[in-house]
């Protein structure tokens, strides 16, 4: 294993070792009154006791039929189980601490109970018991929630309303809302706010979605295309580039232009994508049978957003929409139904290796049914195995399954609360190659691990 990956994982594991050194304190949550339908409603949260830790304490948030489970990302021990009704979906809120839970009423804020507090030239790390707060960003049929840069864009499929939130204030009620927009017609859509305040947003109706628009901060249209049938899914690549999937290719929004990259097949649906903000390459799924009720694809796409090209990669197994992820160095990862993580070099669009993780499995017929999923955090790919109720932690670089746990419930969706906001500046490093970014990120992680080690031994206040 190379030094960067080792230092990242060492930094994560250090959090568990630090817990006996914790100091007790207290903090209270805030409250805010509800406003319009697109602004959050909130009531006072229960007082939570906070505990100081010697290092960051990342946590995982998983859904199950009946609620949520919060795990320590290092030990995989259950921190809290929260009962909740309905089919739940989870997305990161962008501040490192909170997670958005899609419920019947909208996007509800879960406090995962892990955060960093700046203190001079270093941070102090805190934990508390996770709690599903009363803060809700109201949405009729809550859909995509996309974090990019300093914004979080929430899309309500039932109304076409887009609510743009400051992630740093996501728990503060209506004060978190910085911008609102409503599409001409309600549809299953998506919005992404770029660092220059322009917005990429889908357009269509409940029956047909064909358009992707680039809007200025004042809502005026800068560029658009209506050549994207079946608009679905999004990703962000290096240079503030945004991609949106179509049934016959992919749309690339770069600068002030909107460009369609055609698929090699007449019907080549790219409905789900995984980007890496320091890489020009976007990983996408790929389906070519328009009439199939349940197609089990065995190919994925790699889109080079800088060159405007799309390549198809054959895999040794099928996969599902929860199978796509990216490694810290920009690797494209696909969790196959053969139980392996297939690793693709996006620069060459070639399969480089496969990592055995779980037993082979079959895709369920209904998309809401639990199936294996993959989520990457700090060099580790967390894989769920609903057939055995397990969660496994896999070192992406070495392929080692370095931890696993069997839950009391069957896991479905998975996301994380890293405990701090990403340290690197995406805008400053947007032009780097994946390799250059990996080297930069590795140095930062190593330096931070050293800092955490000093903190644990009391050399800093």
The pLDDT score that the predictor gives to residue 423 is 55
Average pLDDT over residues 244-262: 98
pTM of the model: 0.82
pLDDT digits (tens, 9 = 90+) for 169-225: 999 878 899 999 999 999 999 999 999 999 999 999 999 999 999 999 999 999 999
Give dist(CA 393, CA 405) in Å, integer: 9
Mean pLDDT of the chain: 85
Cα three-residue angle 198-204-205, rounded to 5 degrees: 140
The pLDDT score that the predictor gives to residue 218 is 93
pLDDT digits (tens, 9 = 90+) for 35-93: 333 344 333 344 468 999 989 999 999 999 999 999 999 999 999 999 999 999 999 99
Give dist(CA 304, CA 25) in Å, integer: 49
pLDDT digits (tens, 9 = 90+) for 28-38: 333 333 333 33
Is the C-alpha dihedral spanning 284, 293, 146, 90 positive or negative?
negative
The pLDDT score that the predictor gives to residue 431 is 36
How is residue 371 written in tokens? 């199936």
Give dist(CA 242, CA 258) in Å, integer: 9
pLDDT digits (tens, 9 = 90+) for 339-368: 999 999 999 999 999 999 999 999 998 989
| CB-count exposure of residue 459 (10 Å: 0-12, 13-18, 19+) | exposed
* b/e code 217-232 from CB counts within 10 Å (16+ = b): eeeeeebbbeebbbbb
> Three-state secondary structure along the chain?
CCHHHHHHHHHHHHHHHHHHHCEECCECCCCCCCCCCCCEECCCCCCECCEEECCCCCEEEEEECCEEEEEECCCCCEEEEEECCCCCEEEECCCCCEEEEEECCEEEEEECCEEEEEECCEEEEEECCCEEEEEEEECCCEEEEEEECCEEEEEECCCCEEEEECHHHCCCHHHHEEEEEECCCCCCCCEEECCCCCEEEEEECCCCEEEEEEECCCCCEEEEECCCCCCEEEEEEHHHEEEEEECEEEEEEECCEEEEEECCCCCEECCCEECCCCCCEEEEECECCCCCCCCCCCEEEEEECCCCEEEEEECCCCCCCCCEEECCCCCEEEECCCCEEEEEECCCCEEEEEEECCCCCCCCCCCCCCCCCEEEECCEEEEEECCCCEEEEEECCCCCEEEEEECCCCCCCEEEECCCCCCCCCCCCCCCCHHHHHHHHHHHHHHHHHHHHHHHCCCCC
Is residue 335 pLDDT above 50, yes or no?
A: yes
Q: How many CA atoms lie within 13 A of 135 on its CB side?
A: 26
The pLDDT score that the predictor gives to residue 173 is 77
The pLDDT score that the predictor gives to residue 43 is 36
The pLDDT score that the predictor gives to residue 48 is 64
Give dist(CA 418, CA 60) in Å, integer: 8
Report yes or no: 408 and 64 within 8 Å, Cβ to Cβ.
no
Q: How many CA atoms lie within 13 A of 2 on its CB side?
A: 13
- Would you say how long the chain is, in residues? 461
Phi, psi of 125 (to 5 degrees): -115, 135
Is residue 304 pLDDT above 50, yes or no?
A: yes
């Amino acid at each position: 294993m190379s030094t960067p990956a080792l230092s990242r994982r060492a930094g994560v594991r250090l959090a568990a070792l630090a817990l006996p050194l914790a100091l007790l304190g207290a903090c209270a949550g805030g409250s805010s009154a509800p406003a319009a339908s697109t602004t959050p409603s909130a009531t006072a949260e229960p007082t939570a006791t906070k505990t100081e830790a010697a290092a960051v304490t990342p946590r995982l948030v998983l859904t199950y039929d009946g609620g949520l489970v919060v795990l320590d990302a290092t030990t995989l021990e259950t921190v809290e189980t929260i009962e909740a009704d309905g089919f739940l979906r989870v997305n990161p809120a962008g501040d490192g601490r909170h997670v958005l839970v899609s419920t019947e009423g909208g996007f509800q804020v879960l406090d995962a109970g892990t955060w960093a507090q700046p203190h001079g030239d270093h941070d102090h790390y805190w934990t508390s018991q996770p709690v599903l707060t009363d803060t809700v960003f109201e949405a009729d049929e809550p859909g995509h929630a996309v974090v990019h840069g300093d914004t979080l864009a929430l899309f309500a499929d039932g109304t076409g309303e887009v609510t743009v939130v400051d992630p740093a204030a996501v728990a503060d009620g209506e004060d978190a809302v910085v911008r609102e927009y409503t599409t001409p017609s309600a549809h299953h859509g998506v919005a992404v706010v770029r660092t220059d305040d322009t917005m990429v947003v889908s357009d269509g109706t409940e029956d047909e979605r064909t358009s992707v628009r680039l809007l200025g901060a004042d809502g005026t249209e800068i560029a658009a295309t209506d050549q994207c049938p079946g608009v679905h899914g999004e990703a962000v690549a290096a240079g503030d580039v945004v991609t949106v999937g179509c049934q016959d290719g992919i749309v690339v929004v770069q600068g002030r232009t909107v460009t369609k990259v055609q698929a090699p097949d007449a019907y080549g649906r790219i409905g789900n994508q995984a980007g890496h903000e320091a890489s020009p390459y976007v990983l996408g799924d790929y389906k070519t049978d328009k009439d199939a009720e349940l197609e089990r694809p065995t190919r994925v796409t790699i889109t080079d957003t800088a060159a405007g090209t799309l390549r198809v990669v054959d895999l040794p197994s099928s996969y599902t929409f929860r199978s796509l992820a990216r490694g810290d160095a920009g690797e494209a990862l696909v969790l196959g139904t053969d139980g392996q993580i297939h690793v693709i070099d996006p620069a060459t669009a070639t399969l480089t290796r496969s990592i055995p993780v779980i037993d082979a499995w079959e895709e369920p017929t209904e998309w809401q049914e639990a199936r294996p999923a993959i989520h990457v955090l700090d060099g580790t790919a967390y894989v769920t195995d609903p057939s055995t109720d397990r969660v496994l932690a896999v070192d992406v670089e070495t392929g080692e399954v370095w931890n696993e746990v069997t839950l009391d419930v069957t896991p479905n969706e998975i996301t994380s609360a890293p405990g701090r906001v990403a340290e690197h500046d995406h805008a400053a490093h947007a032009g780097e190659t994946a390799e250059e970014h990996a080297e930069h990120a590795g140095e930062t992680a190593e330096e931070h691990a050293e800092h955490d080690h000093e903190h644990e031994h009391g050399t800093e206040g």
